[in-house]
Structure 1
Amino acid sequence: MDIIQECFNNIGRSDINKNSKNLLSDGIIDSMDVVSLVSEIEKHYNKPIKSNFIKPEAFENFENIQHMITENMSHDSSF
């Protein structure tokens, strides 16, 4: 979860933390934040996140974001 926090910090959203919930559905983050966050995650792992894993529910909280990353890693041997 520290990696996710670091990614949020890197996109200028240090106001978001592991206790934040309903990030997308409550408008705490928007589509530009999602794009920036995905880019930061991809930079960190030096691998892309496949588009089929990028779903709105994946960005509701840190747990869902971590699950998206884990799922992407398990379905893509190059990740």
Structure 2
Amino acid sequence: MDLIQKFFDNIGRSDIDKNSKNLLSDGIIDSMDIVSLVAEIEKYYNKPLKSDFIKAEYFENFNTIQQMIMENIK
């Protein structure tokens, strides 16, 4: 979860932490944040994320983001 925090910090969203919930559905993050977050993840792993896994439900909290990353990085 520290790594996901680092991704949010890198995109200028240090206001979001592991206790934040409903990030997308409550409007805490928007599509630009998602694009920036995906770019940070891809840069860190030096691997593009599969578009099949870039879905709104994966951006609700740290656990769902972690799940998306794990399914992509297999």
Same fold (TM over 0.5): yes
Q: CA deviation at 1:68?
A: 0.1
**After the TM superposition, which segments of 4 or more aligned residues of structure 1 sit over 3 Å from their partners?**
none
Q: Distance in 1 between matches of 2:34 and 2:66?
A: 14
Q: Identity of aligned pairs, percent?
A: 76
Q: TM-score under structure 2 normalisation? A: 0.98
Q: Secondary structure at the match of 2:58?
A: helix
Larger Rg: 1
Pairwise CA RMSD: 0.5
Q: What stretches of structure 2 of length at least 5 have no aligned partner?
A: none
Structure 1 equivalent of residue 7 of structure 2: 7
Query: Aligned residue pairs: how many?
Result: 74
Structure 2 equivalent of residue 33 of structure 1: 33
Q: What stretches of structure 1 of length at least 5 have no aligned partner?
A: 75-79
Q: TM-score under structure 1 normalisation? A: 0.92
